[in-house]
Amino acid sequence: MSDIKRLTAPQIRAHAPDGLAALLVDAVDSGASVGFLAPLGHAEAASWWQGVAEEAERGVRHVWASYGDDGALSGVITLIRATMPNQPHRADIAKLLVHRTARGRGLGRRLLATAERAALDEGLTLLVLDTETGSPAESLYRSAGWTRAGSVPGYALTPAGSPHPTTYYYKELAGARATGP
């Protein structure tokens, strides 16, 4: 697998119709609860990524991607900076997606570590995320030093449309410098 690279807004726009949309559709088709119901259409997935490009352009969301040896997109992660004045120190990890053909090889862990390092470099001191309770992602987050904050029953629908609990995690970043006033 190639190195993980941060995507600019124009790169996100360029990859939205193909690789990024296909990766999101694959995640939903695989049963991942990432905010969409199945079946997720390719056009809807591409449109969502176009919105992500707008957020990247505004500096609110950062996106990193990894490509397989064949050049196909194999994984992605996004970091969303908090925008409220009293939260300049934190961000959310969102849309950690690894294509089903690339799972089980540590790519999710590498993507997560990349986003954590970038957050630390930006002076962020707290990251939060949510994931489907009982999903394989939970063991990844726990093993990567994330702390379970609690779960909310019936918080989100699975891709099949069934209510399912969501668990929240947080991670305090060691060595981060405060970004507040």
For residues 3-10, average pLDDT: 96
Give the pLDDT of residue 20.
98
Q: In whole angstroms, give the CA distance from residue 45 to residue 41.
A: 6
pLDDT at 174 over 90: no
Q: For domain 5-172, which CATH number applies: 3.40.50.11890, 3.90.800.10, 3.40.630.30, 3.40.50.10240?
A: 3.40.630.30
CB atoms near residue 145 (< 10 Å) = 13
pLDDT tier at 181, thresholds 50, 70, 90: very low
Residue 150 scores a pLDDT above 80: yes
**What is the residue extent of each domain of the chain?**
5-172
pTM: 0.94
3 three-state secondary structure: coil
- The 10 Å CB-count burial string (b at 16+, else e) for 20-56 is bbbbbbbbbeeebbbebeeebeeeebbebbeebbebb
